[in-house]
Amino acid sequence: MRTEKWLCKACMGWRESYPILGKCGVCDAERHLGRGGFCRLCWRIASDAREVTKRERPYRPLDVVGANRNGQQLCFANMIRRTRRSAPTPDHVPSHLVRPRARRSVPRQLELFDPPRTWMDRHGIPEPPRALTALLDERARDLAARHGWSATQTKRVRLGLRVALGLEAAPRNRVRASTVLRLPSLGLGGGVALVLMVLAEADMLDDDRVPAIVSWFERETADLPPSIAKELGVWFDVQRNGSARTPRCRPRTESTTRLHTRWMLPAVRVWSADGHHSLREISKEDVLLALPPGGNERVLAAKALRTLFSVLKARGLVFVNPTAAIPTGRHERRQPLPLDVQVLRASLDSGDPVRAALTALVAFHGLRAGELRGLKLTDASSGHLYVSTRRIVLAHPVRVRLSSYLDYRNAKWPSTANPHFFVNHLTACRTDPVGSRWLSLKLGMPAQLIREDRILDEALATEGDLRRLCDLFGIGIDAASRYSVGVDPASIEDPRTARRIRSE
């Protein structure tokens, strides 16, 4: 302390006993010298080294030079205490009057600071088995090296794996996907998809997630009577999983199932409000009253209801199909219209290489949104593009924009292992294709509008040649005829072609 001139009590006593200053015979420092011409530090080091062998016989003097040969160990001030040995107990003193000797405490190293609490300690999550954690850590590092994850992403995934294992009651078997989905509530929502990828790669994922369409269907039918909701559930299961029973059918896509559900639910809710508790009670008159008066709404609702009652009749849940003899007419086709040239040109000349490349592929070659999403790097080679069964010769403006996009892709994600042509910041860490919503956001409009503009322009240039439209864009005759309707026969020089278009 400052009041003691920054000296410990032992050093103060040493200076009082040995006031002479000089150079120490071991450390060569200018200090107060004691017996043998050594300073207190060197003498203390030699004394501590002799503590182990002090009971040996014959007695050996201190070897100060040898004890300090390999360095000196400092210690905290005023920490050395010497205990006196208790006097031997006389034989005539009763044993119950003798104070028992205290056990000698085992010395231990005190901690200067409390150890830092880990993330799992702060949130009360137990640590998982070390062997399992090490195995998943190794798998995470391997995937990070293969897919080009950043250091931050790898750290989040490793922490997410430990937390998911700690939340599981029996992590040695499998980790449930619902447990991994709890990570965002704990502030670890940045790498949920990557954690699921590591668990699936290690064959430790128990995917117990409920599909979004199932949850959506249950919410939509929750206000219906139980019998009607059960009958709709039978139809929904056939739509999603198909049927091997007569009449056999293949599974429908999620978008088709959602559309059919939206088209039929207004009529089903009308029947429920009228007091019907089962679809067995529905007659032809009930269907006619529930259908919209006309237009596409009537056609679509009748189509969905016909699908519903066909499945229920095949399963024996209804006696007759009340929609069998109801004429609904044909769906009104929308006439394709051209886009504004200035908007399309601004998208083609955009400074964003992703938007320019997407617009060029759709505007010049009429690719669909699904074809853009599923396009692989190996599908573009030597100025050609292989899409499904078609081999497309790329136009020069398209080649320039695709080359610029590939340079941008390699510079932004040089280590990605995603085989798809178009990637974003989410799919670059995985092998999934981009989403359809991402395409619309990048293009600034649905890709179908640009594709229709391209087909319409080709129909005008080829004077409504349906065969050429089918070969270029992979569409059928019915779809191609929609675009030939917009061709003005007066603008066609060939009279035979003009007469054919007028007749169509």
**Dihedral (CA of 375, 379, 381, 385) sign:** negative
State residue 98's pLDDT score. 56
Q: Compute how many other C-beta atoms are within 10 angstroms of the C-beta atom of residue 472.
A: 18
408-427 exposure pattern, b = at least 16 Cβ within 10 A, e = fewer = ebeeebeebebebbbbeeeb
Q: Which structure tokens are listed for 172?
A: 């040695």
State residue 372's pLDDT score. 92
Report cis status (omega within 30 of 0) of the bond before 58: yes
Specify whether the CB–CB gap between 226 and 276 falls below 8 A.
no
User: Which run of H or E residues covers position 487?
Assistant: none
Residue after which a domain boundary falls, among 49, 67, 85 = 67
Name the pairing type of β-strands 175-176 and 30-32.
Answer: unpaired
Domain identity same for 131 and 201: yes
- Assess if residue 308 is contained within a domain: yes
State residue 403's pLDDT score. 93
Report cis status (omega within 30 of 0) of the bond before 247: yes
- Assess if residue 74 is contained within a domain: no
Domain that holds residue 178: 125-206
- Assess if residue 491 is contained within a domain: yes
Residue pLDDT, tens place only, 284-322: 898 888 888 888 888 899 999 999 999 999 888 888 888
Name the pairing type of β-strands 205-206 and 380-381.
Answer: unpaired
Q: Which residue is listed with tokens 């639910």?
A: 265
- Assess if residue 467 is contained within a domain: yes
Residue after which a domain boundary falls, among 186, 206, 226 = 206
Instruction: Point out which residues pair with 380 in neighbouring strands.
Output: 385
Domain identity same for 245 and 269: yes
d(CA 420, CA 436): 14
Residue after which a domain boundary falls, among 67, 82, 116 = 67
Domain identity same for 419 and 493: no
- Assess if residue 370 is contained within a domain: yes
Domain identity same for 443 and 346: yes
- Assess if residue 187 is contained within a domain: yes
267: helix, strand or coil: helix
State residue 359's pLDDT score. 93
Residue pLDDT, tens place only, 18-54: 888 888 988 888 888 887 888 988 988 888 777 554 4
Specify whether the CB–CB gap between 354 and 442 falls below 8 A.
yes
Where the chain has pLDDT below 70, the residues are: 51-60, 79-106, 115, 170-172, 485-504
Domain identity same for 241 and 309: yes
Domain identity same for 407 and 362: yes
